[in-house]
Amino acid sequence: MEKTVNQRAWFLVIPVLILVAFSSIIPMMTVVNYSFQDTFGGNDFFWVGLEWYRELLHSERLWDAFGRQLLFSSIILLIEVPLGILVALSMPKKGITASICLVLMSLPLLIPYNVVGTIWQVFGRADIGLLGRALSDLGISYNYSQNAFDAWATVIAMDVWHWTSLVALLCYAGLRSIPNAYYQAAMIDQASRWSVFRFIELPKMRGVLMIAILLRFMDSFMIYTEPFVLTGGGPGNTTTFLSIDLVKMALGQFDLGPAAAFSLMYFLVILLISYVFYTVMITADKDEAQS
Amino acid sequence: MSPAKKNASAHKPKVRLSIVVMTVYLLFLLVPIYWLVIMSFKSNSEILGMFTLFPADFTLKNYQTILSDPSWYMGYVNSFIYVSLNTVISLSVALPAAYAFSRYRFFGDNHLFFWLLTNRMAPPAVFALPFFQLYSSVSLFDTHIAVALAHCLFNVPLAVWILEGFMRGVPREIDETAFIDGYGFTRFFTKIFVPMIAPGIGVTAFFCFMFSWVELLLSRTLTSVEAKPITAIMTRTVSASGLDWGVLAAAGVLTIIPGAIVIYFVRNHIAKGFALGRV
């Protein structure tokens, strides 16, 4: 559909601009301001230039948190994307069972983040939780608040539990848009289940899969509440991801300068990656429009 | 007849496999929730003393505690107030903007559209401190409107994207016919266009509601007493008091219920909403 050029459309966008400017640009400017200054308390600020950035780039704490964050995001993507596709392929196509599955699957997506943390906190405890109790009855020593590996396993299981349905729902929506004729053609060709998936379903799911990966990457990259409630970033610092570290720095220790510099670098990383994803997404859109 | 039959029998094992996958997956999703719900009906001594798969001593006391104590139930009221405010604000500014993006080309439209997306992608942790200072300086700290405005950071872009997706599906001819018939823009928009995309608006409202409802970091940072949301009250209970597990579980269950009710109505559109209107 061809859009017409109309500069007056700007008037329709102005309310959004004002609102988002208020809630995004002004706070962002505060952050930029702090990142170049230091204070001895009160309102005495003085200019320190790039000092905070230099310090942070050499800070082991930041790089460790960044490494943990990357590892976490990669692991959950590697689990959630294939699992989501598998679930989407297994979902009933229509009828009451499809509705029930949709509703039940969406349930974890609508639970407040800290309640998700609470659910798993309770669920995993060895004394009162079903999971913790079952594992210890099986003779597996499991304690997510003491053992780093258990903490990681629990945080990852929690994220898989929380968000796999998102990937599955998007893939399911993509699958349903495939016309039946494609499957009939495949049947005539006696195509195997694998080639149906590889040559019909996967290409048709590409667009939604891109969105799913984009969303999952971004949201996992800024995950805060769930691990904060579950482990508080511990044991030690083993599950301290970037957002947890940042909040600790900004609101806990009130280190305005470093926290601000941290924020900006954090935001720039996300911006860069989301720009790459966005470009890929738009190109995919165009390809689809042409074919 | 016979090829179809043969085909059906060839497909049977696969159908069974998919049922197994679905059952295991749904069990994985539901067991932790089941545990929370069950715990909310147990007394504290049962939770800590015995290990039961089903409440031996079924009690509603935990819910009673929450529903009779203002410091608990006001949390739900506060959450509802700022979430509703946020939904109304987001929708009313996003509707015209989404229309502009879906119908017209104008200077900088693509860049603007991407810039909106970056706000959806901004980590709330980055904004926690500046928001705290901004809203304190305009003396809006600890008010519902402060949280509602702060959540606009990610809900307005989301609303614009989803609505744009729905509006693209409405043929342009409708706009043109209406304008030829002498409708002004405002009258056309409110009388014809908005009713036509009502399902889209419903889904968008649902998503604004939901993302504002589940968010904790910003709403906790921006409130202390007067507008404290239920989610923040819960975390305080976890860290401070001697852990009343039953009440905590009951509070958790009560936060799930609103979403669980609404989701039935939007089940067929939920994927489109999560995909920012791009399915």
CB A27 within 8 A of CB B130: yes
Instruction: Please tell me the distance from the alpha carbon of residue A45 to that of residue A168, in angstroms, as a whole number.
Output: 50
Instruction: Please tell me the distance from the alpha carbon of residue A103 to that of residue B274, in angstroms, as a whole number.
Output: 14
CB A291 within 8 A of CB A204: no
Residue type, B247: V
Q: pLDDT tens-digit profile of B48-96?
A: 777 777 777 788 888 888 888 888 888 899 999 999 999 999 999 999 9
> Residue A83's pLDDT is what?
94
Interchain CB distance below 8 Å, A110 and B130: no
> Residue B71's pLDDT is what?
82
Q: What mean pLDDT do residues B90-106 have? A: 91
- The C-alpha of B36 sits at a distance from chain A's nearest C-alpha, in angstroms, of 6
Residue that the structure tokens 């049922």 belong to = B19
Torsion of CA B9, B11, B13, B17, to 10 degrees: -160
CB A52 within 8 A of CB A258: yes
Task: Look at residue B199 and tell me whether its pLDDT is greater than 90.
Answer: no
Structure-token pair, residue A104: 């039940």
Structure-token pair, residue A195: 């080639």
Position B148 confidence tier, pLDDT thresholds 50, 70, 90 = very high
> Residue B83's pLDDT is what?
93
Tell me the H-state helices in chain A: 10-20, 26-35, 51-57, 60-90, 96-106, 113-124, 130-137, 148-176, 180-188, 193-196, 202-221, 225-230, 242-247, 256-290
Q: pLDDT tens-digit profile of B237-273?
A: 554 445 678 888 888 899 888 888 888 888 778 777 7
A22 touching B (Cβ < 8 Å): yes
- The C-alpha of B124 sits at a distance from chain A's nearest C-alpha, in angstroms, of 8
> Residue B13's pLDDT is what?
52
Of B122, B112, B214, B211, which Cα lies nearest the Cα of B164? Answer: B112
A92 touching B (Cβ < 8 Å): yes
Structure-token pair, residue A183: 């499957």
> Residue B220's pLDDT is what?
86
> Residue B241's pLDDT is what?
47
> Residue A121's pLDDT is what?
86
Task: Look at residue B9 and tell me whether its pLDDT is greater than 50.
Answer: no
A250 against B20, higher pLDDT? B20
- The C-alpha of A141 sits at a distance from chain B's nearest C-alpha, in angstroms, of 18
Residues from chain B contacting residue A266 (CB–CB below 8 Å): 123, 125-126
Instruction: Please tell me the distance from the alpha carbon of residue A159 to that of residue A116, in angstroms, as a whole number.
Output: 9
A261 touching B (Cβ < 8 Å): no
> Residue B91's pLDDT is what?
94
Torsion of CA A268, A270, A273, A277, to 10 degrees: -130
Instruction: Please tell me the distance from the alpha carbon of residue A111 to that of residue B252, in angstroms, as a whole number.
Output: 9
Which residues 6+ apart lie within 8 Å of A47 measured at CB? A36, A37
Q: Whole-model pTM?
A: 0.84
| Main-chain phi, psi angles of A122, to 5 degrees | -70, -45
Domains of chain A (ranges, CATH numbers): 61-290 (1.10.3720.10)
**Peptide linkage before B96 cis (omega within 30 of 0):** no
Of A12, A86, A267, the CB nearest to B97: A12
Mean pLDDT of chain B: 83
Of A28, A112, A131, the CB nearest to B213: A112
Instruction: Please tell me the distance from the alpha carbon of residue A267 to that of residue B83, in angstroms, as a whole number.
Output: 26
| Main-chain phi, psi angles of A95, to 5 degrees | 90, -175
CB A25 within 8 A of CB B115: no
Task: Look at residue B214 and tell me whether its pLDDT is greater than 60.
Answer: yes
Beta-strand runs (E) in chain B: 104-105
Of A285, A162, A291, A139, which Cα lies nearest the Cα of A219? Answer: A162
Q: Which stretches of chain A drop beneath a pLDDT of 70?
A: 1-2, 40-44, 284-285, 287-291
User: Residue A32 pairs with which residues in a beta bridge?
Assistant: none
Interchain CB distance below 8 Å, B149 and A128: no
Distances (CA, A) of A254 to A41, A66, A249, B62: 10, 21, 6, 37
Mutate to test the interface with A, among B126, B186, B234, B265 (most CBs of A within 10 A): B126
Residues from chain A contacting residue B104 (CB–CB below 8 Å): 3-6, 9
Instruction: Please tell me the distance from the alpha carbon of residue B39 to that of residue B247, in angstroms, as a whole number.
Output: 9
Interchain CB distance below 8 Å, B238 and A118: yes
Chain A (193-232) residues lying within 8 Å, Cβ to Cβ, of chain B: 193, 207-208, 211-212, 215, 218, 221-222, 224-225, 229
> Residue B239's pLDDT is what?
46
The distance of Cα B72 from the centroid of its chain, to the nearest Å, equals: 21
**Using the 8-state DSSP alphabet, how is residue A108 labeled?**
G
Residues from chain B contacting residue A92 (CB–CB below 8 Å): 22
Number of inter-chain CB pairs under 8 A, A vs B:
285
Residue type, B181: D
Q: For A72-86, A269-283, B166-180, B182-196, which range has the lowest pLDDT when averaged over its residues? A: A269-283
> Residue B89's pLDDT is what?
94
Give the torsion sign (CA, A7, A11, A14, A16).
Answer: negative
CB B171 within 8 A of CB B193: no
